[in-house]
Structure 1
């Protein structure tokens, strides 16, 4: 096939070379466009991944952005806006310093998963046209399209359904930019006959989107029906431990094989050996695995999903469609196929012919892209000056739409990044808007604690939802590093001293409230606020939060019912006890349960294998409630039993000096590291590099430190307490719960994790899976906003 028009350059972004449909499509596109005479370049963060050898064998140029530090790699999959901008800046600097883009030749940039490119689209040279491909029928792609489409010079969808659905977000058929539907293309090999029913799944071993565990349920039903079959699962090995255990539990070890990760050639060889391709996904774009299977004559039995499949599968002619989640339906189709081998040849031939007739070959795909890219370049020549004058809006909440299926890259040379303990995050300044209602939080100080962390999250998040947020802090604690950070972000902070204002609100607070139109007062544990509610203007509602399953909170609530207009409990136990107080006093006020939200990793991070179990405690260093002196006792017992453990203590508190004495007296100072107070950035990094989080408290509400650690993949080992623990930990599934003060049982749980890294890996994933995204800051803030709106509405009706 001759090159079309000129021979410009094609730049394909691929963050890594891991196994995925997008990476495979990038390979076919690079190979096909190179064959058409284009100068093809691939820009990547790392050459990590099974597909790198295939790419490196092509006549193309691969540019690895080699200026990244280990800390940069940690930011790659953060959805923090500033982290994205930092990474984008480094990408831009690398591209400019190395002259990657030819400043004269026309070219095409295909972004794919390299999201940092979106932030620097306005800095791409005018001769390079920017093309965006919607690879999947997923909110993630539609939101990116909606936000960035003015900066795209061409837009492609991989199925007709995606093109149609995208119209709800952007009127593609009315844009001046070229748009097109270009299905994936694959190789079409020669088919080999076989007379034994074999089923194969190829893809990622994840439950989100791919519903991988449905394949086991289908196999279990086939075995019950005594259908002769063998199922091969070929994929990336994520969830391998859980899959193996589930296979063993269902008694399927003799009829299921797990292979992979596989090279492209090995995938092709596996497909030749199987009759049926099984795809049970909840959604796809146009499944490249499906096209590859059909090209090999493997008969598809797939979910009836909106996008892609009905464009290539004709029911009963070249494959079969089953409703998503219909285990019995899938098994029934496979049973019928097993009993009718005579149908195989016609179905197999029809599958192959469908790929060829519909133009789903790699060569046809490349030809279509070449023609489309010519349109894009022509459009760019006429419009680049107008388009490039628009500045990319970098204030975009990627965390709300992040693909749950994304796989975090761990470079081979990953090291422990240095994290500054004094750096202040650069974030958008927060502005007080008088027309918005205000939430005022009272605290005594910003020392380490779950309540303080909760308040910080709320202070930063509420202004994004048309609420003002204010912090009222004891005057002696205003000169604090964390306070200064909040002030630098533009958060309103006022000081108070109740001891100098007997029976009255401090003048600073009175003055601040006078400027507010309406709002919510949250005293937290500052009891003096309740004593002065008669001095608070009636347009403000008092909300009581039960932060812990502690008599202190219940007593305040009981004694101030007439002054409180609403209440929030952080755990089910707290909610039940608060509700009982209301019933006992024949009182009705809005009461709800809102768990804490924490910052967490948007992908599970697998720990490196190590002979040493890394254990972390994060919280206040106090004996009251936290029982901090229990930790050196546990460390001593673990050491006595021969466990190789490294303990890290993060936090501050009144009992620090006594704790140090206990550690030395028990001779465990060689295995316990004391970090002290840590910034959120440092704590997040520490959690990523520890295996286990421990909690020895005698009571809690919903332990925020525990949620945060689980959100980073730490396995919890805790003492049993009534509130919060059983809401988030399922014993022996995502953590261990041991009876209070049973040190031998506690250390036995550590021993299991120390000597069974497979169990540790499995439980780490389950811990992260439990927290993400249910206990995110966004979820928490959204619930508080809805509740506050209800409270103010009720309050307005009363006053």
Structure 2
């Protein structure tokens, strides 16, 4: 079976969906699938995904993300036509979802991925499961129970294949150890105000190390709001045991986690955060804000970590409780690691994907992908608009002028 995935890449790219794809594709290839990837570059050059695919000898094609959606759809259809797959996974690329009608007409299965409980993925469901029939996906994989329950509310749930496959992570032989001296608390992820609330997290870290003796903090990652973090650390974190650890490659982050004791995630929403799974696999205790999706599947409050109600008092209370009770940390640490071993190993995740793809009824008679003269697309969804810029429609007068110029150029 041939499967083509779609993705974004850029220098220093971080985040769960990138890490997930970097590990999944080589595993599917080893399982006997023919896999490749179509990549859009955001800032003109490649990033860790491209490097990883080259290293693992996985075929891919890449191009700059074009300004107009129609141009991106045309590029995708052209690439798919040159190497027609049985299954196409648009992943989180909006133009790839909008190419659905022309891809499905060729007999290719369209399988979406829902990575997070946020307006973007809610809009994907609205447009490509609950929207026009011609744009409806053949199936959707979700990463958490909450996302699964949301999709089961769709009136079209019986018309698609629905599968829940949690992310999986590598479980190291060693685990985090703490002697009871300084408690190392870390944040790992995008430095972004949207969703991650990184300025509030940074301020909370500064208050944490000030109010609780023997606590150190490191913020790992990169993102659009890194400058905000630096400004807060220069002002509120000066001379405190708190630092910005930089953007750590995915293959090296495990070493940093094994040297940590607590990982913090205080986002507004998530899907199934890989950073927390990776940390728990190392025996690092998670302290996370209460959210609908993902967190409740990973953390049983007081057993595998702590779920807090806010980024202030309840958060500080949880950190203080851990700092002053080594036995409690050890209990949480061992339980966290055991949970990952039993439910979220990378081997389990990859086998689930292999079984899912093998279970699809794919066509043995794939047809040519026909490039339309004009793309008839649904109206732009405001929650997808950031990645969906349409070509402006010419007025009748503009069309007449355009044709006149074209005729004049031919004559002369």
- TM-score, with structure 2 as normaliser: 0.81
Match of residue 469 from structure 1: 35
Indicate how the Cα distance of structure 1 residues 579 and 751 shifts in structure 2: closer, same or farther if over 3 A, else same. same
Mapped to 2, the partners of 1:488 and 1:470 lie a distance apart of: 13
- Alignment match, 1:667: 237
Deviation at 1:503, TM superposition (A): 2.8
Given that 2:176 and 2:259 are in contact with CA atoms closer than 8 Å, whether structure 1 keeps it comes out as no
Residue 574 of structure 1: CA displacement?
0.4
* Structure-2 separation of matches of 1:636 and 1:650: 15
**Is the 1:522–1:544 contact (alpha carbons within 8 Å) kept by the matching residues of 2?**
yes
Distance 1:680 1:586, change over 3 A: closer
Show the 5 A alignment for 1:661-700.
661-668=231-238, 670-700=240-270
Contact map agreement 2:188 2:220 (CA 8 A) in 1: yes
**Counterpart selection for 2:331 from 762, 784, 797:** 762
Change (3 A) 1:729 1:790: same
* Equivalent position of 1:614 in the other structure: 184
Cα distance, 1:754 vs structure 2:
1.0
1:442 equivalent in alignment to 2:10: no
For residues 440 and 699 of structure 1, do their structure 2 counterparts lie closer, same or farther at Cα, with a shift above 3 Å needed?
Answer: same
Match of 1:455 in 2: 21
Give me the whole-angstrom Cα distance separating, in 1, the residues matched to 2:186 and 2:330. Answer: 17
Query: 3-state SS of the aligned residue for 2:150?
Result: helix
Q: Which protein shows a greater Rg?
A: 1
- Report the Cα offset of residue 577 of structure 1: 0.5
Report the alpha carbon displacement of residue 527 of structure 1 after superposing the two structures with TM. Answer: 1.0
Q: Please name the residue that 1:735 is paired with.
A: 305
* Shift in alpha-carbon separation, 1:786–1:516, aligned structure 2, 3 A: farther
Match of 1:523 among 82, 90, 95: 90
597 and 738 in structure 1: CA distance in 2 versus 1, 3 angstrom threshold? same
Cα deviation code 1:122-159 (max 9, x no counterpart): xxxxxxxxxxxxxxxxxxxxxxxxxxxxxxxxxxxxxx
The yes-or-no answer on 1:593 pairing with 2:164 is yes
1:797–1:722 CA distance, 2 compared to 1 (3 A)? farther
What per-residue deviation string (whole Å, max 9, x for no partner) do you get for residues 560-582 of structure 1? Answer: 2233010011101100111112x
Q: Secondary structure at the match of 2:283?
A: coil
- Mapped partners of 2:77, 2:68: distance in 1: 12
Structure 2 Cα separation of the partners of residues 596 and 718 of structure 1: 18
Q: Which residue is 1:539 aligned to?
A: 107
- How far residue 444 of structure 1 moved from its aligned partner, in angstroms, is 4.7
**CA deviation map 1:625-657 (0-9, x unaligned):** 011112232223223423221111111101001
Mapped to 1, the partners of 2:197 and 2:364 lie a distance apart of: 44
Contact kept in structure 1, 2:288 and 2:306, CA below 8 Å? yes
Task: Verify the 8 A CA contact 1:621 1:656 in the aligned structure 2.
Answer: yes
Would the alpha carbon gap of residues 790 and 796 (structure 1) be closer, same or farther in structure 2, given more than 3 Å must change? farther
State the aligned residue count.
359
Superposition pairs of residues 97-496 of structure 1, within 5 angstroms: 436-445=1-10, 447-475=13-41, 476-496=43-63
Q: Which has the higher contact order (CA 8 A, sep 6+)?
A: 2
Report the 3-state secondary structure (helix = DSSP H, G, I; strand = E; otherwise coil) of the residue aligned with 1:646: strand
Local SS of the residue matching 1:580: coil
Aligned to 2:223: 653
Q: What is the aligned partner in structure 1 of residue 403 from structure 2?
A: none
SS at match of 2:204: helix
Give me the CA root mean square deviation.
2.4
Deviation at 1:606, TM superposition (A): 4.9
Cα separation, 2, equivalents of 1:731 and 1:542: 38
Give me the whole-angstrom Cα distance separating, in 1, the residues matched to 2:153 and 2:186. Answer: 37
**What do residues 143-178 of structure 1 show as CA deviations (whole Å, max 9, x unaligned)?**
xxxxxxxxxxxxxxxxxxxxxxxxxxxxxxxxxxxx
- Find the aligned partners of 1:492 and 1:696 in 2 and give their Cα distance: 37
**Does residue 569 in structure 1 map to residue 139 in structure 2?**
no
Question: Cα offset for 1:608?
Answer: 3.7
1:681 is paired with a residue whose SS is coil
SS of alignment partner, residue 22 of structure 2: helix
798 and 723 in structure 1: CA distance in 2 versus 1, 3 angstrom threshold: farther
Where in structure 2 are there 5+ consecutive unaligned residues? 368-412
The 8 Å contact of residues 715 and 767 in structure 1, kept in 2 or not, is answered as yes
Query: Contact (CA 8 Å) 2:38, 2:61: kept in 1 or not?
Result: yes
Out of 276, 279, 283, the position equivalent to 1:713 is 283
Change (3 A) 1:702 1:457: same
Distance of aligned partners of 1:786 and 1:478 in 2 relative to their CA distance in 1, 3 Å threshold? farther
Is the Cα–Cα contact under 8 Å of residues 503 and 531 in structure 1 kept in the other structure? no
Counterpart CA distance in 2 for 1:547 and 1:785 is 18
2:377 alignment counterpart: none
| Structure 1 residue aligned with 2:348 | 779
Mapped partners of 1:749, 1:556: distance in 2: 36
Specify every segment of 5 or more residues in structure 1 that has no aligned partner in the other structure, as ranges.
1-435
Inter-partner Cα distance in structure 1 for 2:238 and 2:150: 41
Residues 781 and 478 (structure 1 numbering): CA distance in 2 closer, same or farther, change over 3 Å? farther
Query: Are the aligned partners of 1:443 and 1:471 in contact in 2 as well (CA < 8 Å)?
Result: no
Partner Cα separation in structure 2 for residue 600 and residue 723 of structure 1 = 23
